């Protein structure tokens, strides 16, 4: 069972997880919440994974802290936890959640989780440590009532951007198509994995830049901004 407020995100999720009952709605809406709970009980859900909205905690946002109502939507998440009593649940958010409002939200989340009878382990994990070719740090709370569950440890090796996309077509400004054949062979295990089951390359189209923009881009030294 899955819930998202954004219809496009929900559609993408359904495409990748066709057996999932995907609900499009607002978690604060009572009818939506009851439907999620009823379907989850019907399907025997015993684990919940979710990311309450992160915009209010993001370094790029207005950082309103206690004055941003979105920052309190973790309580709606915990309301569903309370109703379903899963064995394990996971909360994911941007790492600045841990420090926003001098740690008030972190402390409130942890104390709320413990009051529900769950052990909680939390910290910051980097997606690059787990095979994703991107430096992406997130605050993770792993909560369990069937014994302590530690945060996972790094796989010890990273996948670089070169590992991930060196095999894609080399495009100039404005080139590329929605669907096109691969023009190169894979050069890494990651590329082989990404091509599995796909004979065509999709969504690889370069933006159309003005000449002055191309000239400026040409002046950027390799590996620099």
Catalytic (active-site) positions: 54
Is residue 60 helix, strand or coil? coil
Q: How far apart are CA 132 and CA 109, in angstroms?
A: 28
DSSP character string of 101-136: HHHHHHHHHHHHHHHTT-EEEEEEEEGGGGT-SS--
> What stretch of H or E contains 179?
strand 176-181
Measured between its terminal Cα atoms, the distance across the chain in Å is 42
Q: How far apart are CA 50 and CA 16, in angstroms?
A: 17
In terms of Cα–Cα distance, which of 180, 181, 182, 175 is closest to 205? 175
Is residue 157 helix, strand or coil? coil
Q: Which residue has the tokens 């014994």?
A: 147
Phi, psi of 123 (to 5 degrees): 175, -170
Residue 208 DSSP symbol: -
């Amino acid at each position: 069972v899955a819930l998202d407020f954004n219809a496009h995100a929900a559609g993408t999720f359904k495409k990748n997880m066709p057996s999932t009952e995907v609900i499009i709605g607002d978690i604060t809406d009572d009818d939506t919440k009851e439907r999620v709970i009823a379907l989850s009980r019907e399907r025997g859900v015993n684990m919940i994974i979710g990311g309450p909205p992160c915009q209010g905690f993001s370094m790029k946002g207005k950082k309103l802290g206690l004055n941003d109502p979105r920052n309190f939507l973790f309580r709606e998440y915990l309301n569903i936890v309370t109703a379903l009593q899963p064995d394990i649940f996971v909360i994911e958010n941007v790492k600045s959640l841990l420090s926003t409002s001098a740690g008030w939200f972190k402390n409130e989340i942890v104390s709320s989780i413990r009051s529900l009878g769950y052990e909680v382990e939390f910290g910051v994990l980097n997606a690059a440590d787990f095979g994703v070719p991107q430096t992406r740090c997130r605050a993770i709370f792993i909560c369990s009532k069937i014994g302590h569950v530690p945060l996972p440890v790094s796989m010890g090796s990273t996948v670089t951007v070169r590992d991930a996309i060196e095999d894609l077509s080399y495009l100039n400004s404005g080139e590329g198509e929605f669907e096109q054949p691969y023009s190169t062979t894979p050069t890494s295990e990651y590329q082989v994995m990404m091509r599995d089951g796909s004979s065509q390359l999709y969504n690889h189209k370069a933006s159309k830049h003005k000449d002055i923009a191309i000239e400026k881009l040409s002046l950027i030294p390799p590996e620099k901004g």
